């Protein structure tokens, strides 16, 4: 999915969080969004997801103004925390995935996805009995249930052990190689063993945008 | 031998007497609807909403009694005015929840206070407490009319069809409203209709257990089932099973001992809840002891802490 952001500024009440952000991502690009706490990373993500309402003409998804964009099933999202999810009421992994699936993803594809995520054996488990790492993989699988063309991951490896982090980035890289546009929010790029093509460093709402293909990334990130 | 005779007379009463048939049909259908809708209410942590709506519905019932009994207006059964008020209460809650976005729970005490104040005012104007008001407060399932039974049958059918048709959307909105919005689901519209349906169920349940006990029909079977079910569907089905056991046992016991059916149904729900909680505690302690007696001395870490 192609993304165009044109001179976007956004704030809450009297506080401006994002200042004149502009960038373009082509289908299959991989953007890593870095910055300190409060730099505006999550605010930008919420703008891209249509949660934060931005003025018309600021964000285009696949050439369509975000206000007219309808194909939200093609946008997968893994939130930073799963606090929005109402836990404790029993629900199995399979039930979560089945109610999230609105596209023509058949059962075999779903099982393949679960296998790829390493949680095939957990499909009939109550999510309240899963560990943090397992839960994170369930929510990533949920984000993939409708064959997304854009996957936005907001600090997805926070609190996950190293072994699972490596496995996670392998999956993300594979998806990117298949043409899925990825936006990964992270504190830094050091732990991200990714195929990143672009890095955006947000600092107090202003963006320093680096195309990894053009610049020597290793020097920039040091 | 005596028990057999009592059971036989209960069955004979159901077969021979229409008021018993009406009570049984109403109880069984409310026994399905209340925990079904109650499950979604519990997931969204809105357990107080049923109480709020039942109190607002009582305001409608009191106003209805005042207009019918004191002013002599031909408005039919006050229950319909109670239904209208329950829906108005539901809309009021939704409006207040949108107005106080960060303090949504404020809507409940405001609406419950308004409902209780209006009820107190119109009960007083209608001449104080009488049999009708007592029946609305504590339920009178044995006096439901044939017309009421038809309404319950239609409403149950409509709600079951709607839940089946929009199962995915309802479950996602209940568990994760933010994600439902991302999927392009019209969360506001669904919530509006859910609240209206909830209001109708609450006002109809008043006939079964009364205003003061309505929320127990929706919440207690679900609270018990949550501790037994392993999946969402099994939990909802277990809640309906618990609810039906309570309704049938409540009707039976009230028939045998001539005690209020509403209170008996609710108390049976509580007995089931207590049984579940106590048996889980005993089984849990036994399992830990069996698997690893040493861990009994140390506190167990929460599963979510491990990754």
CA dihedral (A79, A84, A86, A88) positive or negative:
positive
Name the percent of chain B in helix, strand, coil, to the closest 5: 85, 0, 15
Checking if the pLDDT of B211 tops 70, the result is yes
Distance from CA of B196 to the nearest CA of A (A): 22
Whether B305 contacts chain A with CB within 8 A: yes
- Inspect the interface and report whether the beta carbons of B176 and A85 lie closer than 8 Å: yes
- Number of structural domains chain A divides into: 1
Contacts of B167 in chain A (CB under 8 A): 99
Give the model confidence (pLDDT) of B22-33 as tens digits.
889 999 999 999
Per the structure, the complete domain to which residue B77 belongs is given by: 2-294
Checking if the pLDDT of B280 tops 80, the result is yes
CA distances from B36 to A35, B31, B43, B90, B226 (A): 46, 9, 11, 18, 13
Contacts of A90 in chain B (CB under 8 A): 226, 229-232, 234-235
For chain B, the maximum distance between any two Cα atoms, rounded to a whole number of angstroms, is 75
Whether B234 contacts chain A with CB within 8 A: yes
Q: Minimal CA–CA distance to A89: which of B66, B219, B147?
A: B219
- Inspect the interface and report whether the beta carbons of A132 and B230 lie closer than 8 Å: no
Contacts of B235 in chain A (CB under 8 A): 89-90
More confident residue, B83 or B212: B83
Burial class (CB within 10 angstroms; exposed 0-12, middle 13-18, buried 19+) of B227: middle
Give the A:B interface size as CB pairs under 8 Å.
Answer: 88
More confident residue, B245 or A213: B245
Residue B133 sits at φ, ψ, to 5 deg, of -65, -45
Checking if the pLDDT of B304 tops 80, the result is no
- Average the pLDDT over B229-255 and give the result: 93
- Inspect the interface and report whether the beta carbons of B182 and A164 lie closer than 8 Å: no
Which candidate from A79, A91, A129 shows the least CB-CB separation from B175? A91
Per-residue pLDDT, B32 = 94
Q: Minimal CA–CA distance to A140: which of A107, A193, A70, A93?
A: A93
Distance in angstroms (rounded) separating the CA atoms of residues B35 and B42: 10
Checking if the pLDDT of B9 tops 50, the result is yes
- Inspect the interface and report whether the beta carbons of A85 and B167 lie closer than 8 Å: no
Per-residue pLDDT, B68 = 85
CA dihedral (B261, B262, B263, B264) positive or negative:
positive
Burial class (CB within 10 angstroms; exposed 0-12, middle 13-18, buried 19+) of B128: exposed
Per-residue pLDDT, A93 = 93
List the single range of A199-208, B80-89, B249-258 with lowest mean pLDDT: A199-208
pLDDT band, residue B44 (cuts 50/70/90)? confident
Contacts of A77 in chain B (CB under 8 A): 179, 182
Per-residue pLDDT, A106 = 79
- Inspect the interface and report whether the beta carbons of A130 and B303 lie closer than 8 Å: yes
A49 phi-psi bin (left φ>0, alpha ψ -120 to 50, beta other): alpha
Q: At what angle do helices B18-43 and B232-257 cross, to 10 degrees?
A: 150
Per the structure, the complete domain to which residue A69 belongs is given by: 3-221
Checking if the pLDDT of B92 tops 80, the result is yes
Mean pLDDT score of chain B, rounded to an integer? Answer: 86
Whether B178 contacts chain A with CB within 8 A: yes
The helix/strand/coil state of A118 is: coil
Regions of chain A where pLDDT drops below 50: 215-222
CATH number at residue B116: 1.10.3470.10
Whether B282 contacts chain A with CB within 8 A: no
Examine residue B87 and state whether it is found in any structural domain, yes or no: yes
List the single range of A151-165, B149-163, B178-192 with lowest mean pLDDT: A151-165
- Inspect the interface and report whether the beta carbons of B168 and A72 lie closer than 8 Å: no
Q: Which residue has the tokens 């005012």?
A: B121
- Average the pLDDT over B130-155 and give the result: 83
- Inspect the interface and report whether the beta carbons of B176 and A98 lie closer than 8 Å: no
- Number of structural domains chain B divides into: 1
Distance in angstroms (rounded) separating the CA atoms of residues A150 and B169: 22
Q: Kind of pairing, strands A59-61 and A64-65?
A: antiparallel
Distance in angstroms (rounded) separating the CA atoms of residues A172 and A185: 13
Distance in angstroms (rounded) separating the CA atoms of residues B155 and B204: 10
pLDDT band, residue B301 (cuts 50/70/90)? very low
Residue A91 sits at φ, ψ, to 5 deg, of -155, 140
Per-residue pLDDT, B5 = 62
Examine residue B302 and state whether it is found in any structural domain, yes or no: no
pLDDT band, residue B179 (cuts 50/70/90)? confident
Distance from CA of B304 to the nearest CA of A (A): 5
Contacts of B178 in chain A (CB under 8 A): 51, 79, 84
Which candidate from B226, B233, B303 shows the least CB-CB separation from A129? B303
Radius of gyration over alpha carbons of chain B, in Å?
21
Q: For chain B, how far is it from start to end, CA to CA, in angstroms?
A: 60
Radius of gyration over alpha carbons of chain A, in Å?
17
Contacts 24+ apart (CB under 8 A), A190-198: A190/A221, A191/A157, A191/A165, A192/A32, A193/A166, A193/A169, A194/A30, A194/A32, A194/A169, A195/A30, A196/A30, A196/A31, A196/A32, A197/A29, A197/A30, A197/A31, A198/A23, A198/A25, A198/A29, A198/A30, A198/A31, A198/A32
Which candidate from A126, A131, A135 shows the least CB-CB separation from B231? A126
Asked whether the ipTM of the predicted complex exceeds the cut of 0.85, the reply is: no
More confident residue, B92 or A163: B92
The C-alpha torsion from B38 through B44 and B50 to B55, rounded to 10°, is 180
Whether A147 contacts chain B with CB within 8 A: no
Give the model confidence (pLDDT) of B97-138 as tens digits.
888 888 888 999 999 999 999 999 998 888 777 767 778 888
Whether A13 contacts chain B with CB within 8 A: no
- Average the pLDDT over B254-261 and give the result: 87
Examine residue B216 and state whether it is found in any structural domain, yes or no: yes
Per-residue pLDDT, A159 = 64
Contacts of B181 in chain A (CB under 8 A): 51
Q: Which residue has the tokens 């963006």?
A: A207
Per-residue pLDDT, A193 = 63
CA distances from B189 to B9, B107, B193, B196 (A): 49, 19, 6, 11
Q: Most B CBs within 10 Å: which of A47, A69, A90, A161, as the mutation test of the B interface?
A: A90
The helix/strand/coil state of B12 is: helix
Q: Minimal CA–CA distance to B87: which of B173, B168, B194?
A: B194
């Amino acid at each position: 999915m192609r993304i165009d952001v044109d001179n976007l500024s956004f704030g809450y009440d009297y506080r401006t969080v994002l200042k004149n952000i502009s960038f373009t991502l082509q289908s299959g690009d991989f953007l890593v969004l870095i910055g300190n706490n409060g730099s505006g990373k999550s605010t930008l993500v919420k703008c891209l997801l249509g949660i934060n309402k931005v003025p018309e003409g600021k964000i285009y998804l696949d050439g369509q103004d975000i206000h007219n964009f309808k194909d939200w099933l093609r946008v997968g999202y893994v939130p930073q925390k799963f606090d929005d999810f109402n836990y404790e009421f029993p629900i199995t992994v399979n039930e979560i995935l089945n109610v999230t699936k609105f596209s023509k993803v058949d059962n075999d594809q779903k099982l393949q996805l679960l296998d790829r995520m390493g949680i095939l054996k957990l499909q009939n488990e109550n999510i309240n009995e899963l560990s943090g790492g397992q839960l994170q993989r369930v929510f990533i699988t949920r984000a993939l249930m409708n064959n997304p063309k854009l996957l936005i991951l907001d600090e997805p490896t926070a609190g996950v052990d190293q072994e699972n982090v490596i496995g996670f980035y392998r999956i993300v890289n594979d998806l990117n190689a298949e043409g899925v546009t990825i936006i990964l929010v992270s504190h830094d790029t050091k732990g991200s063993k990714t195929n990143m093509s672009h890095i955006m460093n947000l600092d107090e709402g202003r963006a320093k945008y680096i195309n990894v293909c053009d610049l020597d990334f290793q020097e920039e990130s040091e | 031998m005596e028990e057999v005779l009592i059971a036989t007379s209960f069955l004979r009463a159901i077969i021979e007497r229409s008021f018993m048939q009406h009570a049984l049909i109403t109880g069984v259908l409310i026994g399905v609807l209340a925990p079904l809708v109650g499950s979604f209410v519990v997931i969204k942590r809105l357990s107080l909403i049923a109480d709020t709506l039942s109190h607002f519905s009582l305001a409608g019932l009191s106003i209805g009694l005042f207009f019918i009994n004191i002013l002599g207006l031909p408005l039919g059964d006050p229950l319909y005015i109670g239904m209208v008020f329950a829906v108005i209460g539901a809309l009021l809650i939704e409006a207040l929840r949108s107005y106080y976005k960060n303090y949504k729970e404020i809507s409940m005490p405001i609406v419950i206070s308004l409902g209780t104040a209006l009820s107190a005012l119109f009960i007083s104007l209608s001449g104080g407490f009488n049999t009708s008001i007592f029946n609305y407060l504590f339920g009178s399932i044995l006096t439901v009319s044939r017309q009421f039974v038809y309404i319950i049958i239609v409403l149950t059918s409509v709600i079951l069809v709607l839940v089946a048709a929009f199962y995915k959307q309802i479950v996602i909105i209940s568990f994760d409203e933010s994600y439902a919005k991302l999927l392009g689901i019209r969360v506001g519209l669904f919530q509006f209709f859910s609240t209206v349906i909830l209001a109708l169920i609450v006002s109809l349940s008043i006939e079964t257990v009364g205003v003061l006990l309505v929320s127990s029909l929706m919440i207690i079977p679900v609270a018990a089932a949550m501790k037994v079910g392993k999946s969402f569907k099994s939990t909802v089905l277990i809640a309906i099973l618990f609810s039906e056991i309570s309704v049938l046992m409540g009707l039976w016991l009230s028939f045998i001992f001539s005690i209020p059916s509403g209170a008996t149904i609710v108390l049976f729900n509580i007995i089931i809840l207590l049984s579940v909680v106590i048996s889980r505690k005993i089984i849990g302690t036994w399992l830990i002891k069996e698997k690893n007696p040493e861990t009994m001395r140390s506190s167990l870490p929460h599963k979510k802490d491990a990754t």
